[in-house]
Amino acid sequence: MKTNKENLFICKAIWTSVLLTRYISYLAKDFHITLKILAFYEPKKSHIFYSMRFFSRYQELYYLVLIFSRERFFITINGKFSIMRTKGGACLKKLVIFDFDGTIIDTESYWYKAYRDVIQKQYNFDLPLAMFSRCIGTTDSVLFEYLESEISESMNRQKINQDVDEFFLDISKDITVRKGVENLLIKLTEAGCILAIASSSKREWIRQYLEAFQLSSYFSLIKGKEDVLDVKPDPALYLAVLEELEIKPEEALVIEDSINGSTAALRAGIDCIVVTNPVTEHMAFDSSIPTYSCFTEMTLNCCFEKA
């Protein structure tokens, strides 16, 4: 059952749509342009979607999509320009920064299996998923400190990492880009967004996968662990991207998969969306961060609702 507040919102949005339609219809008629209109209401999100497509005699000229909600509206023109207006005014997201491991490709599940099996074999210790999750998005020092305290002995970290790397290569041959990622990259690019990657991994590691999956062309900038003194949850990686691209924090959005990553984004003053994977889905993320279990749950406007 709709509340009075919701009914008032619907009435305002419909009335605005009617006025807008009448005004644009007059303009379209003067220029001999045909106007086709579609509007519908989505109750779950209390949004009204309103699209206008303009046709000349033989072809579609351009289309305009408006999404009304209680406090904001989202506009896209031909999918090339996106803006959302809120109570505080207009805010254009010029830049979307992706984490890499666990976000674009789900390496985290493979790394967990590799570490768990190597440590089990060498030290007869079962590595809990919750503990492994603490080092996702940052360095492995947190993990080794925990392991050494549990088994009460110093570990040969270099040897363990070498064995883990070899095991990872054996089991990760079928690794793929997460479902829905490339579709989102295409839509964001069409919307005119600059795309970048900020990762606690090395740049060469990131590049080899981007090239293998033919994703390199989407990204204007890649920042890795060698570019900063401190990795996530320190905000340095995200701040480095903003500085090089000369973009303000409020003009950017981060897509992450872990608490360390989302913490880094928030510390940099950037809005964040989390898309979890099987290793991070149990994490207790900040309640202010929109969280999804997969990219196929998202639509393009999800990336602008934090504006």
Please write the tens of the pLDDT for every residue from 231-254.
Answer: 999 999 999 999 999 999 988 999
Looking only at the bridges linking them, the beta strands covering 73-77 and 221-223 are: unpaired
- Reported as a single tens digit per residue, the pLDDT across 118-150 is 999 999 999 988 888 877 877 788 888 888 888
pLDDT for the residue 81? 45
How far lies 13's CA from each of 8, 23, 27, 41, 68, in Å? 9, 15, 21, 10, 7
Radius of gyration in angstroms for the set of CA atoms belonging to the chain, rounded to a whole number = 23
Beta strands across the sheet bearing 95-98: 221-223, 194-198, 95-98, 252-256, 271-275, 291-292
pLDDT for the residue 48? 59
Across the range 95-124, mean pLDDT stands at 93
Across the range 214-224, mean pLDDT stands at 94
pLDDT for the residue 89? 45
Q: Which residues contact 127 (CB under 8 A, 6 or more apart)?
A: 112, 115, 116, 119, 120, 147
pLDDT for the residue 135? 77
- Say which residue the tokens 């351009």 belong to: 62
Catalytic site includes residue 101: yes
Q: Which of 101, 163, 234, 271 is catalytic?
A: 101
Catalytic site includes residue 30: no
Assign 180 to helix, strand or coil: coil
Q: Which of 99, 106, 163, 234 is catalytic?
A: 99
pLDDT at 151 over 70: yes
Among 9-18, 91-100, 162-171, the range scoring the smallest mean pLDDT is 9-18
Taking the C-alpha atoms of residue 230 and residue 34, their distance in angstroms, rounded to an integer, is 57
User: Which has more pLDDT, 40 or 238?
Assistant: 238
- 62, two tokens: 């351009």
